[in-house]
Amino acid sequence: MPMFRIQNYLNGQLVAPASGQYLPNIEPATGQVYGEIPDSGPVDVAAAVAAAEAALPAWRARPAEERGRLLEKIADLIDANLERLAQAESRDNGKPLALARVMDIPRAASNFRFFGTAAPHFATEAHVQEGLALNYTVRHPVGVVGCISPWNLPLYLFTWKIAPALAVGCCVVAKPSEITPATAFLLSALCIEAGLPAGVLNIIHGTGPGCGQALVEHPGIKAISFTGGTATGRHLAATAAPLFKKLSLELGGKNPNLVFADCDLAAAVRTSIRSSFANQGQICLCGSRLFVERPIYEQFKTEFLRQLADQTVGDPLDAATKQGALASEAHLHKVLAYIKLAHDEGGTLLAGGHRATVPGRCADGYFLEPTVFEGLPYDCRTNQEEIFGPVVTLTPFDTEAEVLHMANSTEYGLSATIWTQNLTRAHRLSQALHSGVVWVNTWLHRDLRTPFGGMKNSGVGREGGLEALRFFTEAQNVCISLTGG
């Protein structure tokens, strides 16, 4: 089979990197190289920024409705190519094809449709000083912006950044993760087919240090929207802050799942299985610390482990597969190292704990058994550091104060889930949790209008709805005297 060669999307064309060099693209389910990725660098980034700068005046001058119509056209093309995109995402990332079909690709279309239709509704404020002055706010697109996304939800998170930037009239230079570049490449072709003007969106492939760093450093990039690990976010902020770039950082998480004795136990267990292991636990919103109130601890544990047995690890293309491969060999080894750490810290292994073997074409794939530990202190490293894989811990608690203390004890503050039928407690605890997103009796329920982002080391700024449109714009106040001087 010929190698699947990815190209950069630069000034409306699909082109090779300036260096002519490519990196291997590995299929996680087989461990085999199946394609090539441009190894782009500062030269490609500079060309992309120049193309975006040239496209900017015409793009920002277009009526929002026209920009929105183009974004909706891209959404329609994503829908029309759903199967092809889902297959590419599954192959590139290792996730079950069935999941890519119902989650990743439909959500990518929704991102374009949501922000395409939001653009004409984006209004600004007026502040009237009676008899003295009228102030009105103008929101200008920031200019050329950089969007950098991770490998766990490749097209989903890539489009979540690009769509609002384009909607408000910014031009974009975007870099997907080198681990999962395929659907971003396929998106380039769809943008060309939709008639997106050359230079409005440029997609440059390559490594973080080689290509992402050049994007962050480029003086023509006025704002950066980044989703990725906390350590990378810290490095990125240190580079961009002295250059006074606007920054939106969506970073890591170590999310608590608080299960009270009065909850609907069946729903809590069913959804906790999903929130622990969906996408092999590689969703920043996965709840990896399960705190269960002591009276139902044993019952919850028994039922959780029983349902865990149905989390079939297998070929992502197999319809019966619930758990595919981890995204890369390096990531698999990182997660295995955390399993060793959990043993070293005295944890009791309740399930999983080993690399999984999937026979046939997937014999060399990066599979891991869904893993559960108990008996670990809340403040040990296993319970404090982000693992970002199918590894969770179970911990009993006795009081609300105790579980709140444990839940809030990490450096992260992305999301939390509460399971209770007590309405007062749900409200009280939600507001006491240091998390940007709190779910009560549900998980991963998303409304694209709501603010999305983390507290503490989980990020800076919010995405979603108006927050995203505001981020990619610069507010200007115009003050008009009503007295004539």
Q: Which stretch binds ligand NDP (CB under 6 A): 163-171, 232-240, 366-374, 376-384?
A: 232-240
Q: Are 159 and 188 in contact (CB under 8 A)?
A: no
Is residue 284 annotated as part of the catalytic site, yes or no?
yes
Q: Does 459 bind ligand NDP (CB under 6 A)?
A: yes
Helix axes 154-167, 82-93, angle to 10 degrees: 120
Helix H or strand E segment including 303 = helix 294-308
Q: How far is the CB of 327 from ligand NDP (least distance, A)?
A: 8
User: 149 or 371: whose CB is closer to ligand NDP?
Assistant: 149
Q: Which of 116, 252, 389, 413 binds ligand NDP (CB under 6 A)?
A: 252
The 3-state DSSP class for residue 252 equals coil
What is the DSSP secondary structure assignment for residue 180, as one 8-state letter? S
Q: Which stretch binds ligand NDP (CB under 6 A): 119-127, 251-259, 313-321, 376-384?
A: 251-259
Is residue 191 annotated as part of the catalytic site, yes or no?
no
Residues 6+ apart with CB under 8 A from 466: 122, 449
What is the DSSP secondary structure assignment for residue 24, as one 8-state letter? E
Q: Which residue do the tokens 């909850």 mark? A: 263
Q: Which stretch binds ligand NDP (CB under 6 A): 108-116, 183-191, 223-231, 392-400?
A: 223-231
User: 196 or 387: whose CB is closer to ligand NDP?
Assistant: 387
Half-sphere exposure of 234 (CA within 13 A, CB side): 7
**DSSP β-bridge partners for residue 476:** 138
As a whole number of angstroms, the distance between CA 277 and CA 288 comes to 9
Q: How far is the CB of 45 from ligand NDP (least distance, A)?
A: 10
Residues 6+ apart with CB under 8 A from 71: 112, 113, 115, 116, 119, 163, 166, 167
Q: Which stretch binds ligand NDP (CB under 6 A): 258-266, 315-323, 398-406, 452-460?
A: 452-460
Give the pair of three-digit tokens for residue 235. 């490095």
Q: Are 295 and 163 in contact (CB under 8 A)?
A: no
Q: Which of 40, 183, 213, 435 binds ligand NDP (CB under 6 A)?
A: 213
Q: Which residue do the tokens 């019952």 mark? A: 299
What length does the chain have?
485
Strands (E), 142-298: 144-148, 171-175, 201-203, 223-227, 246-250, 255-259, 287-293
User: 77 or 145: whose CB is closer to ligand NDP?
Assistant: 145
User: 116 or 436: whose CB is closer to ligand NDP?
Assistant: 436
Q: How far is the CB of 246 from ligand NDP (least distance, A)?
A: 16
Q: Does 35 bind ligand NDP (CB under 6 A)?
A: no
Q: How far is the CB of 484 from ligand NDP (least distance, A)?
A: 50
Q: Which of 191, 211, 263, 284 is catalytic?
A: 284
Half-sphere exposure of 264 (CA within 13 A, CB side): 8
User: 77 or 204: whose CB is closer to ligand NDP?
Assistant: 204
Q: Which of 209, 295, 346, 360 binds ligand NDP (CB under 6 A)?
A: 209
Q: How far is the CB of 176 from ligand NDP (least distance, A)?
A: 6
Q: Are 216 and 247 in contact (CB under 8 A)?
A: no
Q: Does 386 bind ligand NDP (CB under 6 A)?
A: yes
Q: Which of 36, 89, 250, 369 is catalytic?
A: 250
Q: Which stretch binds ligand NDP (CB under 6 A): 2-10, 70-78, 150-158, 351-359?
A: 150-158
Site track for ligand NDP across 404-443, x = CB under 6 A: ----------x-----------------------------
Half-sphere exposure of 365 (CA within 13 A, CB side): 30
- Segment 260-319, which members bind ligand NDP (CB under 6 A)? 284
Q: What is the b/e burial string over 200-215, where b = at least 16 CB atoms within 10 angstroms of the residue's CB?
A: bbbbbbbbbebbbbbb
Count CB neighbours of 401 within 10 A: 10
Q: How far is the CB of 32 from ligand NDP (least distance, A)?
A: 19
Q: Which stretch binds ligand NDP (CB under 6 A): 50-58, 68-76, 146-154, 477-485?
A: 146-154
The strand pair at 22-27 and 13-15 is best described as unpaired
User: 63 or 209: whose CB is closer to ligand NDP?
Assistant: 209
- Segment 38-67, which members bind ligand NDP (CB under 6 A)? none
**DSSP β-bridge partners for residue 178:** none
Site track for ligand NDP across 338-377, x = CB under 6 A: ----------------------------------------
Name the residues that contact ligand NDP, by CB under 6 A: 148-152, 157, 175, 177-179, 207-209, 212-213, 216, 227-229, 232, 235-236, 250-253, 284, 386, 388, 414, 454, 458-459
Catalytic residues, by residue number, are 250, 284
